[in-house]
Amino acid sequence: MKTGILALQGSFHEHAETLKLLHRDFIFVKNIDDLEDINSLILPGGESTAMLKIQEHTDLFQKLESLIKSGIPTLGTCAGLILLSGQNIQGTNTINALDCIVERNGYGRQNQSFEAEVHFEDFTADYCFIRAPKIISYSDDVKPIAYQDSDVVGLRRDNIVGLTYHPELTNDNNYLNWLDSFLKKDSNVGSF
């Protein structure tokens, strides 16, 4: 079994390098056929509107939503979190698998990107926020799991984790250990 990495646009190569460090098989997901034989999924950072536009005449995001809701471990970083959220972006619906509202570029534009200390579950590390979305609200069944100062920057619901930042750019040991465990142990988390 493999981890699928959405590869329409964005930092999918960086996530592949992370999975190589974990000695985990992966496939770049560009169409529905690439979803066969995957047991986990990563939605990378990048430009959410571009990703939505690229796939708009396919059923890829509907298939991703179904797969995610079936219970496979799913990680969305930055734009990946936007795709997981329940929003409409410039007339196109997102995957709508994580009940939250985020503000695109919530911390500012490209030149306002920054690194900051994040408290993520049981560890703390510095991570990159690049045109990061800001979490505005989330439902009661969604749990905050990461904080930057007083801002919630990571959410989890069952088998789905969404982060506003880019842990794949630093690949510190704490993150690698967490990701390895998340992808392996949560493979049977359950469906909605």
Distance CA 40, CA 145 (A): 20
Look-up: residue for tokens 């069952």?
158
Distance CA 138, CA 119 (A): 19
The residue from 65, 78, 100, 128 that is catalytic is 78
Is 168 part of the annotated catalytic residue set?
yes
The residue from 65, 100, 128, 166 that is catalytic is 166
Q: Say if residues 189 and 38 touch (Cβ distance below 8 Å).
A: no
Q: Which residues neighbour 97 within 8 Å (Cβ) at sequence distance 6 or greater? A: 65, 68, 69, 74, 84, 160
Is 23 part of the annotated catalytic residue set?
no
Q: How far is CA 86 from CA 6, 71, 96, 99, 131, in A?
A: 18, 18, 4, 6, 19
The residue from 15, 65, 100, 168 that is catalytic is 168
Q: Say if residues 67 and 2 touch (Cβ distance below 8 Å).
A: no
Query: Catalytic site residues?
Result: 78, 166, 168
